[in-house]
Amino acid sequence: MNLSYKSVSVILLFSLLYRVEKKRKDPEGASKDEKKKPKPSPAPAAPSAPRDVGTFKSMSGNLQYKFGVLAKIVKHMKQRHSLGDDHPLTLDEILDETNQLDVGSKVKQWLLTESLIQNPKLEQTPEGGFLFKPPYKIRDKKALLRLLKQHDLKGLGGILLDDVQESLPNCEKALKHLQNEIIYVTRPLDKKKILFYNDRTAQLTVDEEFQKLWRGIAVESVDDDKIEEYLEKQGIRSMQDHGPKKPVIPKRKKANNRKRTHKKPRDNEHLADVLETYEDK
């Protein structure tokens, strides 16, 4: 069988194309025996070490650092106010005075946009500076005495000594000058001192005998009705005319649903003496 050179090249080309097509269908070239073998299931991945503990520690550390910076700022601004230094400071000036110039940009952004603005102990000026925000706006002893008088007149009670010390610069010196104008009362629950205005016009001299009688009578477990009953037995009735009177609520009249019927005159009976008949005339 004699084949030409052209026919041999065509046969070789077809065989090459057949092999290329077979490789595409079976790229790994695996044998039939290997294909029949079941593929082993992948082994379960080993559990990775938990990272929550590390992230929690890093987050808590960042929060502690940020709030530590804020605490130093508030403490410094409070000390400045107590010394009478009342001009506002920018954030960079505050960080410089508190020796915290190494604070990062993220912490600065947090201070400017959240913590310093929302802190109840600080206030921001229109120019962007920051000041300490005291409980009361008092700058000297006259302002303190005026505040105590207003509380006394309006019946608002006293003022905590802690709030006065936090609000008034050079507080101890001012309190020493006003020692005759102020009454100190210690609160029994937490032992904190409260300041009241000493109104000398309301001072009365009471005889010691009456004071002993007043202090010797215990009325803690006696209500108002029992006190009133005791006074009535003793012939004392003056308390009945004093005190707030209970408003008397007027009783509502019951609505009468019955319709009132008026008798209508019939046949002009009410005009019997006036009318005349003209039938016979």
Q: Which residues pair with 26 in a beta bridge?
A: none
Coil vs helix vs strand at 123: strand
pLDDT over 70 (residue 235): yes
Task: Work out the pLDDT band at 218, boundaries 50, 70, 90.
Answer: confident
Q: Which residues pair with 123 in a beta bridge?
A: 131
Strands (E), 114-223: 122-124, 130-132, 159-160, 182-186, 193-197
pLDDT of residue 6: 54
Unique residue bearing structure tokens 């106010």 = 81
134 within 8 A of 120, measured Cβ to Cβ: no
0.75 cut: is pTM over it? no
In residues, how long is the chain? Answer: 281
- For residue range 110-135, what is the model confidence (pLDDT) as tens digits? 999 999 999 999 999 999 899 999 99
